[in-house]
Amino acid sequence: MNLKVKIKDLLLVVLIYFGFYQMISAQNMGKNCFKTGADRSELYLPLLKNKTIAMVTNQTGLLQDKTFLVDFLVKNNIKIKTIFAPEHGFRGDADAGEHVKNGVDTKTGISIISLYGDNKKPKAEQLKGIDLVLFDIQDVGVRFYTYISTLTYVMEAAAENNVEVLVLDRPNPQDGFIDGPVLKEQWKSFIGMHEIPVIYGLTIGEYGKMVNGEKWLKNGVQAKYTLIPMQNYHKKQRYGVSDKPSPNLPNDKAINLYPSLCFFEGTQVSVGRGTDLPFQIYGSPWTKNLPYQFTPKPNFGAKDPFLNGQLCYGENLSGKNLELRELNISWLLNAYKNYKNPAQDFFLKNLFFDKLAGSDELRKQIIAGKSASEIKNSWKKDLEKFQKIRAKYVMYED
C-alpha cells in the first residue's frame, strides 16, 4: 500500500513538473516569437476594413505560412483596387532595369500598375478612389536598391492626394550598422534619392518614418504614415528573407555581398549576372591575374548579361565564411589594380559608378591610389552626421 502511495506521489510530482515546464516553455516561445508586420494581421486588418486600398508589393509579400498577402487580404474581404509593382515586377522575375508592363493578376483579377520606367511615382488618376496604400516589400537595406525610392515616391504621391500610407515592416538583412559614402545632393537619382550612406541601418518602415519626419518629400509634404512594427525583432542577429528580393539576389550570401560588389556595376567588371553565383563573384576579361574563371551567359535572371560569352578572371566569394558588417572595398581596389585594358577605362563612360557611390569622390580616390583605410576614414564625418538623424527613427534595438 505504501508503495502505491509513493508511486502516486511521484507521478503527481512528475505531472506538476511537466505542466510547469510546458508553461515556462510557452512563455519563452512567446518572448522569442518573431513576426513580420505582415504576420500581425490583428493590428492592420481593422485599419483596412471598409476602405478601398492599393498595394505596393511583390513576391516577397508573404506571410509566415508562405501565403501571399494579396491572397490573404482578398480572402478576408479587403477591397484591393490596384497592385503597384516595383522594379522586377509583381512576381519578381524581371531583370534589373527591364521595362515591366501593366496588366492583371490572373489569380485575383486585380489590375497591376508598374512603378518602374516612366511611371516611378503613382499618378493622381491612379490613386483616384483609393483611401489607403498598403506597402509590403522585403528590402535589402542598401541605398541603391530601388525599393526605398519606390516607397519615397508612393509616400509623396499619397501626401499630395490625401491618401494614407500603411507600411508592414520587414527585417533589414544588413542589420543595424551604417557604412559607406553619404550621397551628395548633385548625384541624386532613383538609385539614391536622399543624403544617406550606402548602408543605412534601418528597416524599410523606419526608413519611411525618417523620410517623413525629416520632410524629405517634394516641397516638404508629409504623408499620413502608419507603421505596423515587427514583433520581437532586433538588429543584433540577421533574419533570412521571405523570398529572394530580385532575380540576382538569390540567397543571403548575395544580399550580404551586394553593397560591396554593386559598385562593379559602374565598371568593366562583371558581378556574375548570367551565372549561378550573381553578386557572389566578380571578374573581367582584363583582370587575368585573378584566379577564378567564369563566363556570363543568358539565364533567367539576366537575359543579356554584361560581358555575355566572354571569359572573365576574378574571385569567387561564395564559399568564404563572410558575414560582413562593413562595406568592403578591397575587392574593388583589387580589381582596379589588376585591370589591364588600354582600350577602355576601368570605369564606364556614363559614370554610373558616381551615381552608385553618391558622388565622384570615391572614383577619384581609387584613381589616386588611396588605400581602403584612407577611403573609409574620409566617410567618418558624414556618417556621424547621418547617425544623429538616424537615431531619431530607430525603433528596434541595434
pLDDT tens digits, residue range 12-58? Answer: 444 444 444 444 333 444 446 999 999 999 999 999 999 999 999 99
pLDDT tens digits, residue range 330-345? Answer: 999 999 999 999 999 9
Q: In this model, does residue 11 exceed pLDDT 90?
A: no
Q: What pTM value is reported for the model?
A: 0.88
Cα torsion angle, 72, 75, 76, 81, sign:
positive
Q: In this model, does residue 351 exceed pLDDT 90?
A: yes
pLDDT tens digits, residue range 233-289? Answer: 999 888 888 888 988 999 999 999 999 999 999 999 999 999 999 999 999 999 999
Where do the domains of the chain lie, and which CATH numbers do they carry?
37-241 (3.40.50.12170), 252-367 (no CATH)
pLDDT, position 117 = 82
Cα torsion angle, 262, 169, 398, 322, sign:
negative
> To 5 degrees, how large is the angle CA 93–CA 95–CA 98?
115
Q: Burial level of 256, CB count in 10 A (0-12/13-18/19+)?
A: buried
Q: Burial level of 331, CB count in 10 A (0-12/13-18/19+)?
A: buried
pLDDT band at 10 (very low <50, low <70, confident <90, very high): low
Beta-bridge partners for 133: 54, 165
pLDDT band at 95 (very low <50, low <70, confident <90, very high): low
pLDDT band at 94 (very low <50, low <70, confident <90, very high): very low
Distance of CA 257 to the CA centre of its chain: 13
pLDDT, position 4 = 54
